Amino acid sequence: MNKILLLVCLSSILFGADIMETDFIPRVVNFLIFVGIAYYLIANQIKDMLNKRKEDIQQQLAQAQEKLANSKKQKIQASIKIQESEKLSLDIIKTAKDECKNIDKRYKKQTEQALLSIKKGYEDKMKLDTRRAKVEVTKEVLNDFINDSFNSISQEEIVNIINKKVA
């Protein structure tokens, strides 16, 4: 690298013209004066513009951070609501299951009571029908015996016959 730099410098000396014959230095001085004047005239405006841009960026950053904080709060609130909803749904399911069990027990009890009532009614009706049948049979037997052989049978025989039929 040093060799290349040395070669370039030597070639400029060999092939170049004398630096005094050029107006390089006055041009550099004029350029520096121009830059100084431009800086003097424009520096405050550039600073103001850059400061304003910096403030705008800071405001946008603050707004973005505020939105981020709000969204985090909303996310937390939403997760809390979800947890509450899950608890509520579990409570509703438990209550519904308990209600189903209670309704099932109630209907079983009502059904058993209805069956017992029907069975008791049936048994009562059977007893009543049995009594009626016994009374009718007794009446028929008595009427038959009284009509057919009232004179030939004694009272003791009638009582024995009735006892046999009834038993």
Q: What is the pLDDT of residue 73?
A: 96
User: Which tens digits make up the pLDDT trace of 70-88?
Assistant: 999 999 999 999 999 999 9
How many residues in the chain? 167
Residue 165 near residue 138 (C-beta atoms within 8 A): yes
Q: How far apart are CA 110 and CA 112, in angstroms?
A: 5
Give the 3-state secondary structure of residue 152: coil
Q: What is the pLDDT of residue 85?
A: 95
Cβ neighbors of 138 (< 8 A, separation 6 or more) are: 162, 165, 166
Q: DSSP secondary-structure letter at 22? A: S
Tokens 């016959």 belong to 161
Q: How far apart are CA 137 and CA 162, in angstroms?
A: 10
Residue 96 CA, chain-centre distance (Å), reads 16
Cβ neighbors of 141 (< 8 A, separation 6 or more) are: 161, 162, 165
Q: What is the dihedral of CA 144, 150, 152, 154, to 10 degrees?
A: 100
Tokens 């003097």 belong to 40
Residue 132: C-alpha distances to residues 69, 125, 139, 146, 165 (Å): 92, 10, 10, 20, 14
Residue 3: C-alpha distances to residues 6, 15, 16 (Å): 5, 18, 19
Mean pLDDT by 10 residues, the chain (167 residues): 60 56 87 92 92 96 96 95 95 94 93 92 91 84 69 71 74
Residue 145 near residue 158 (C-beta atoms within 8 A): yes
Q: What is the pLDDT of residue 149?
A: 60
